[in-house]
A and B are shown apart, each in its own frame.
Chain A
């Protein structure tokens, strides 16, 4: 069994974990991060993509609002390349209390959230699709943030500072030496090989899974409630500004324009297991109805994909209360030495993507104190830009098209919807020798556009296979997994044009290619041949 040693071990490859790993590495700690799947596969990769201005929490959760406002300004400097500066609107729809706007303004003033009330006519000029019946409108500094890009930038930066990022490693055991956590044992989910990682400090950055890891470590329970939120990506940019309803946070009250789509979200309901997030028909219908209130005609737009994420909500669940939204969205840092008498172990949970950097900073501050790092090691993540963000330019939705146009004649287009070229795909494969098709999907947005992989699934499989990265059985399995992964996100929203598209994809894969009878799977999926 392989065994390695490090100073700081981070468990969890979401925004928080990568933020901690980068910060720790930048402060000179030998750092290792383990993630049970691919980076950003959990909550980070399943959120609506909003960089909060803080407005959402201005009335309800002042601490969260303050943190968001400060972090928004910082991330715009250090992670510009992951951010599209869309701006945000809070609008009072005919279903909302007009006077809430006054509380909203007061709350923003109290918490340092920049806000300006604008004429309804100006708001509608800016966003003509928004319900013309709105009665008030407020402009804030909301933006959309590409969580995958952000996490990968953190990973690259962490690696540049000497950190090791190990994906597809699941923690199966937390090592204890008397009253101290001494590291973990992980299993590589691809090779089944075990690895022991000894660490002076283990950081539990597993978000909604934090309770599970704390239990493995033998701590008193960490009360994290996984709050399920569903989101639907609609084809096209229905709006180009983040549009929120100016009311207390509720279901389906926000539309985020991000990359080529608009995401409507979200719901909030407590679930027992963050790995079991079923999307129900009722939830989909509810989102569509709420979307219709913000943007009339929403139901006629094409829904591309639906998914659910598990927010890590820290705090005891109010008895009999099904709405987890009353739990603060601020984060919680638990020093288990102090709380449970177990050293070498801290938990950072709660919070939100917008505040991931602050959470990391506070966590590594604690690590410094606990490891008695011998003098101050100041945090630099608020000032040092991530790789690719040094020029300070925001992400532009037209950037892919520009790149495509520059290589129109010398590169092949593999995914027409998301403008992924063959060269980009092959580079991604080369960069990450263990990547599978689904990892590449997340990295490049392959197959995430309107046709949901109808054409590029076959092409990407063929290209991977040709690069001799995949043997025959693996190639077949990868293709089938990819089809299943796509199906998972579309089947609850199959109506209108997306139903049409899904049946066209069936036509290609089942009718034309007979994918059900691929040699690797014929027996399992279909029954044996008579």
Chain B
């Protein structure tokens, strides 16, 4: 692969951001094209590497090797599981506000907005404090008008959960009387912006004063500041003199917006152009390579020459995979072969939690994440596929979504950089 040309990364979800940043750090010229902002704004911004396989995973590091053997077509198996560790270490080195903590040796059990203890390997430290692994006393705080977080529901379910050795979890909910100028219909971002203001944080702390027990850990919806979460969190812990943690709300995800800001900011500092609203319509190909892509712009269709392409357009939810009313499945950008399409019969089963035939459909790849056809032949030698577009995984069931995006984005970049040498 030529070291001169530009790599086009398509998609600004976690996979695309990671691939672009790693490539740029490796000295490649990179251009990022995306239809819109990606998965970060939806996800809780925790790095769930492997939560269930199918039983709850205590240590991803210990479980991944056997998981790879049992699931040979899973991206983790194709890349080799050591990549995951490297990718996690790399990411943690790039995030400072808030910092990310944890590793593959053991999963945290972090409360969700339903009060379920979700296994996750790496998380912002603003969340990791809420680890339920060893039980404890938790106060879950509700903010008035915020419709995307219900503290009593969280506390109720936490109360019927136990730590891994059966440690008790006590949880209760409190509502604080601190409105946003009396507004009754508030989304998470509005609270987050206001909590960037130290004066508002002081008000929040004051409203909680006297309502907390000595051993309480204080859980809040994940709205502790948009631009300086680390500061907001530290300050609140100091004021309350107790551990404070965030719990992801319904989207839009404040921690996800922070994550996007951190990674896109790093791209910006390296001079990488990120175009949102630049939907890729298709590609030019020659001799088994993609030579460039066409994007939609306000001024008509534009061509971007590409020495290589990282396709990180996401799965069904993001539009990276599509199925029409005749049940024809396609990958719309490069027209890559899609594997695992259920034949003839049903794509979905009647039970919501059933194992649906379409669940792990996607683009098949080889070990360096180059797309392959049904016979295992590489389709385009200069293309890498990363993230939810990939076949063979069930990210939501496995609780592996961000882990897959991170590690495949990272590996796509590494394999491109390696090829150059």
Which residues of A line the B interface, CB within 8 A? 281, 288, 299-300, 303, 409-414, 422, 455, 458-459, 461-463, 465-466, 472, 475-476, 479-480, 483-484, 486-488, 491-492, 494-496, 499-500, 502-504, 506-508, 510-519, 525-530
Contact = CB atoms under 8 A, between A and B. Distances in A.
A507 B56 contact: no
A514 B353 contact: no
B360 interface: no
A466 B248 contact: no
Interface in B304-350: 315-319, 322-327, 346-350
B147 A500 contact: no
Nearest to B58: A530
A519 B317 contact: no
B157 interface: yes
Contacts, number: 157
B161 interface: yes
A502 B116 CA distance: 21
B112 interface: yes
Shortest Cβ-Cβ A-B pairs, 6 listed: A462-B150, A530-B55, A510-B396, A503-B317, A503-B316, A487-B352
Contacts of A455: 148, 250
A264 to B, nearest CB: 12
A508 B147 contact: no
A505 to B, nearest CB: 9
A529 to B, nearest CB: 5
B152 A466 contact: yes
Contacts of A414: 147
A512 B44 contact: yes
Given A462-B153, A515-B114, 8 more contacts: A300-B325, A412-B184, A412-B185, A414-B147, A507-B42, A514-B399, A519-B157, A526-B54
A510 B396 CA distance: 6
B217 interface: no
Contacts of A462: 149-150, 152-153
Contact of B395 (A288, A409, A486, A511): A511
Query: How many of chain B's residues touch chain A, expressed as a range?
Result: 35 or more
A302 to B, nearest CB: 10
A504 B55 contact: no
Contacts of B193: none
Contacts of A494: 323, 347-348
B282 to A, nearest CB: 19
A111 to B, nearest CB: 38
A471 to B, nearest CB: 8
B194 interface: no
B251 interface: yes
**Chain B at the A interface: mostly helix, strand, loop or mixed?**
loop
A515 B160 contact: no
B117 interface: yes
A511 B116 contact: no
B43 interface: yes
Contact of B147 (A288, A409, A422, A513): A422
Contacts of A517: 56, 116-118
10 contacts: A413-B147, A414-B147, A491-B348, A496-B325, A508-B42, A511-B48, A512-B253, A517-B117, A527-B54, A527-B55
Interface string B159-184: 11100000000000000000000011
A475 B161 CA distance: 16
A111 B319 CA distance: 52
Contacts of B401: 507, 511
B130 to A, nearest CB: 14
A506 B42 contact: no
Contacts of B348: 491-492, 494
Interface string B340-383: 00000011111111000000000000000000000000000000
A484 B352 contact: yes
B251 A461 contact: no
A526 B113 CA distance: 19
Interface in B179-228: 183-185
Nearest to B116: A514
Given A511-B395, A518-B157, A461 B150 contact: yes
Contacts of A411: 184-185
Contacts of B243: none
Interface in B2-34: none
B5 to A, nearest CB: 33
A238 to B, nearest CB: 14
A500 B118 CA distance: 24
Contact of A500 (B44, B48, B316): B316
Contacts of B54: 526-527
